[in-house]
A and B are shown apart, each in its own frame.
Chain A
Amino acid sequence: MYCYLGIDVGSVSTNLVLTGEDGTVKHSIYLRTRGKPIEVVQQGLKQLQEALPGKIKVAGVGTTGSGRHLAGVITGADIIKNEITTHAIAASNVVPGVQTILEIGGQDSKIIILRNGVVADFAMNTVCAAGTGSFLDQQASRLNIKIEEFGPLALQSTVPVRIAGRCAVFAESDMIHKQQMGYNVSDILAGLCEALVRNYLNNIGKGKEILGPVVFQGGVAANAGMKAAFEKALGMPVHVPPYYNVMGALGAAMLAREATNRKSTGFKGFGVADRDFKAGGFACDGCPNVCEVVEILESGRVIARWGDRCGRWSNLIPGEKIS
C-alpha cells in the first residue's frame, strides 16, 4: 500500500501523520518537541514504523512547522511548506467549502481566510501571546484543574464572568481578582474563554470578514469551552475536525502527494531513525552581524546550513538548497 507522510515540527509539539492514497488518515502520532526536534522526529518515525503493517511504502514526504527545514533535511522531504498553506489545504479537504480557519496552537494563533478554495488572506499573532494554548494550560494548572476538565467545566457555566482579556498579563490578574471575589470556577473559566476569543478576534481577526463554514483547529480546539465561546461571539456554528490537532502534518502529507505526482520520492526511509544526526552551530565572525549559523550533520558530515544573512555558509553546500 502506498502512503504519504506529513511531519509538523512546532516549538511545542511534533506531529506525524500517515495518509493513504485517498487522503484518509491511517495513523497519527503526537509528541512533545521539548527543544529536541531531531530526536523527536526520529522517535516519531520509529513509532510509526512499529505501528504499521509491513507492506507499507512511503511514496512522498512533506514537512511543515517552524522546524520544517530541519525535518525536511533529515527525512529527505519532497516538499517543505509553511504552516499557513498546510493548514489551509488540510481544512479544505476535511470541510469542503471552508471559508475561515481559526487556528490556535501552543505558541501561535492565526486566522486564514479562504475564498473559492484559495487562501485569500491570513494573519498571525506577532508579539502578544494572549490566546495561545500555553496560557490556557498555565491557568488551568493555577486553578488546580486538569486541562481535559477545562472545557466541560466551562460549559457548565450559566453566567460567565467578564474578564479583561487585553493581554495574558491582564487576564491573569483579573482572573485572580475575580476568584478572590468568590465567583465559581466554571463561570471564571467560561469568562476566560470569552476573553481569549475577544482578544483573538480583535487582534488577529481584525478587519477580516469571517464567513462560514468556520473551522477551528490547533491544540486549543480540544477545549469545548473555547469552541462554545467562538460560536457565541460569531453567531454561527464552528466545526472542529476530527484531526484538529495534526492538521499541519495532514496538509503536509496531502501536499507531498501532489508534489510526487509521477515523480519518485526523496524519502530516505525509516532507517533515518537510527542514523546519527546532530545540529551544531557557530557564530560567524565574518562581519559584525555575527550570525548564528546552524549546521545539520549526518555522521559528522555537514548536510545543511542556514541562519546566515549573507549566504556565505548556506550557499556552500551544493544541491542542498533550503526552501
Chain B
Amino acid sequence: MKIVYPHMGYMWICIKAMLEYLDVEVVVPPPSSKKTLLLGVKHAPEFACMPLKLNLGNFMEAAELGADTMVMAGGCGPCRFGYYAHVEHAILRDLGYQYQLVVLEPPQKHIGELLGKIKHITGHQSWRKVINGIRFGYHKAEAVDELEKTANYCRPREIKPGTTDRALQAALKEVIAADTPEKLPAARKRAFEIMRSVPVDRLRPVLRIGLVGEIYTLLEPFTNQDIERKLGGMGVEVDRSIYLSEWINEHLFLGLVKNKRSSKTAREKAVKYLGHFVGGHGLETVGNTVLYAEQGYDGVIQMLPFTCMPEIVAQSILPRVSTETGIPTMTLIVDEQSGEAGLVTRLEAFVDLLARKKQTGEVLA
C-alpha cells in the first residue's frame, strides 16, 4: 500500500511524519503547480471549486510515483467538500486509475471513530503506537505553524528582502528531517534559531491585516498566489485566521489540546450578523472579521474560491460588518482564471488605502 493525500500548504509534513512513523509507505505528490492545476481543470467539472481541481491533479501526479491508496478528508453539512473524496475517486476511476479510497471524517462524537480509520491504514500497529504517531504528526504541524507565524512577523520587518523566505525554507527542512518524536524537539530548536537569525527592524511601522476565508485557500499558497509573501513584501504583518494545528485540534481532537485558539470565539462573534451554520468556514469568516476589528487590525482580506457557497454568504455580510466595526475589508475571488497582475493591483491598492488611512488617522465614513 502506497498512500497519497492531497496537498494543503504544509500539511504534508505532518501527515508524512505520522504515517512513516507507523511504517506506512507514503507518496508525497509534487508541490501543487500550474501543471497540477491544468490536469485538474481538464478532468474536473467546470463549476467545481479550485480545491477539487487541485486535489485531482495531486492524485494524478502521485499515481505516476506509484501511489495506490488515496486518503481524503470528508465532512458533512452544506459545503460540497463533504463529497469531494467520492467525486474525485469516481473521476479517477473513470480515467482508469486503480485507487483505493479511505475517507477520514471528522469524528462526530468521539475520537475513536477516526482512530478506527487510521488503524485500517496502519494495519497491525498497536493502539499505543498509533496514538504516538498521531501525536508526532500533530507536534510537527505545531512546529510548522509556529515557523510560519514567525515568518509572517519577520517579512515586513526584514532588513534585506528575501532573507525571511530563505530562512523559512531552511528551518522547515530541519523539522521535516526529524524522523522520530525524540528528534523533534532539538530540530525545532534549531529551526527557531534559524528564524531568529533573520535581521529585522523591530521598530519599523507595519500594517496588520487578517486573512479570513475558506481553509484550503488560506493554507495552500499555490491557490492564494502566495498572498502572505506578497503582503509581507508590501510591509504588512499578516495573521492567518486558521492554522493547521488549530484546525486539527478543533475538528479531529475535539479540542483536546488546551490553550489553542479555537473557532468558538469567532462563531460567537458572528451570531450578531449570521445566526446559523452555512457550511464550510462561513461563520468563522464573519466572526474572525469582527475579532480582527476588535483587536485593532488595519484591515481584513477574505479569500474566496470561485463558486464557494459558504464564503459567498459571508461575503455578502462583510460590508455590514465593515461599516459597523469600521474595519476595511476586501474580498479576493480565486480560480484557475485568476491573473497575478490583477491580484497585485488589488493588494497594493488595499494596502495603500490602509496606509493612508492610518497616516491621516481618519475614520471610515
A contact residues vs B (CB 8 Å cutoff): 66, 81-85, 115-122, 124, 126-127, 207, 287-290, 309, 311, 315, 321, 323
Contact = CB atoms under 8 A, between A and B. Distances in A.
Interface stretch (B31-39, B103-111, B207-215): B31-39
Q: Which of A66, A126, A287, A290 has the largest number of chain B CB atoms within 10 A?
A: A126
B364 A115 contact: yes
Given A81-B352, A82-B349, A315-B162, A116 B341 contact: no
B346 interface: yes
A207 B316 CA distance: 9
16 contacts: A81-B352, A82-B349, A82-B352, A116-B360, A116-B362, A116-B365, A117-B362, A118-B357, A118-B362, A119-B353, A120-B353, A122-B353, A288-B33, A290-B33, A290-B35, A309-B226
B226 A207 contact: no
A85 B353 CA distance: 8
A122 B349 contact: yes
Interface in B336-365: 337, 341-342, 344-346, 348-349, 352-353, 356-357, 360, 362, 364-365
A76 B36 CA distance: 39
Contacts of A121: 328, 353
Contacts of A84: 345, 348-349, 352-353
B333 A126 contact: yes
Contacts of B36: 288
Given A81-B352, A115-B365, A287 B33 contact: yes
Contacts of B349: 82-85, 119, 122
Contact of B165 (A66, A118, A311): A311
Contacts of B357: 118, 120
B328 A120 contact: yes
Given A82-B345, A288-B33, A311-B162, A118 B360 contact: yes
A248 to B, nearest CB: 12
Interface in B210-267: 225-226, 233-234
A126 B360 CA distance: 30
B319 interface: yes
Contacts, number: 77
Given A84-B345, A315-B161, A315-B162, A118 B35 contact: no
Contact of A288 (B30, B346, B362): B30
A127 B341 contact: no
B362 A115 contact: yes
A89 B35 CA distance: 41
Which interface residue of B165, B345, B357 has the most chain A CB atoms within 10 A?
Answer: B345
B337 A127 contact: yes
Contacts of A323: 233-234, 344, 348
A116 B353 CA distance: 13
A316 B225 CA distance: 21
Nearest to A112: B349
Contacts of A126: 333, 342
A248 B356 CA distance: 18
B34 A290 contact: yes
- Top 4 A-B residue pairs of the complex, sorted by shortest distance between their CB atoms: A115-B365, A84-B349, A288-B33, A288-B35
A183 B277 CA distance: 52
A88 to B, nearest CB: 9
A84 B345 CA distance: 8
A289 B346 CA distance: 23
B31, B162, B364, B365 interface centre (most CB from chain A within 10 Å): B365
A287 B31 contact: yes
Contact of B356 (A118, A127, A287): A118
Interface string B3-42: 0000000000000000000000000001101111000000
A69 to B, nearest CB: 10
B364 A207 contact: no
A82 B30 contact: no
Nearest to A115: B365
Given A82-B352, A85-B349, A311-B165, 13 more contacts: A81-B348, A82-B345, A83-B345, A84-B352, A116-B362, A121-B328, A126-B342, A288-B30, A288-B33, A309-B225, A315-B161, A323-B233, A323-B344
B33 A118 contact: no
Contacts of B234: 323
A86 B106 CA distance: 49
B155 to A, nearest CB: 12
Nearest to B350: A122
A82 B348 contact: yes
Interface in B148-204: 161-162, 165
Nearest to B323: A209
Contacts of A290: 33-35
Contacts of A315: 161-162
B338 to A, nearest CB: 9
Contacts of B33: 287-290
A72 to B, nearest CB: 13
Contacts of A82: 344-345, 348-349, 352
Nearest to A99: B365
Nearest to A309: B226
> Which of A115, A120, A124, A287 counts the most B-chain CB atoms under 10 A from its CB?
A120
Contacts of A118: 353, 356-357, 360, 362
Given A119-B353, A121-B328, A288-B30, A321 B365 contact: no
Q: By CB atoms of chain A within 10 A, which of B30, B33, B234, B344 has the most?
A: B33
A117 B357 CA distance: 10
A124 B352 contact: no
A15 B165 CA distance: 37
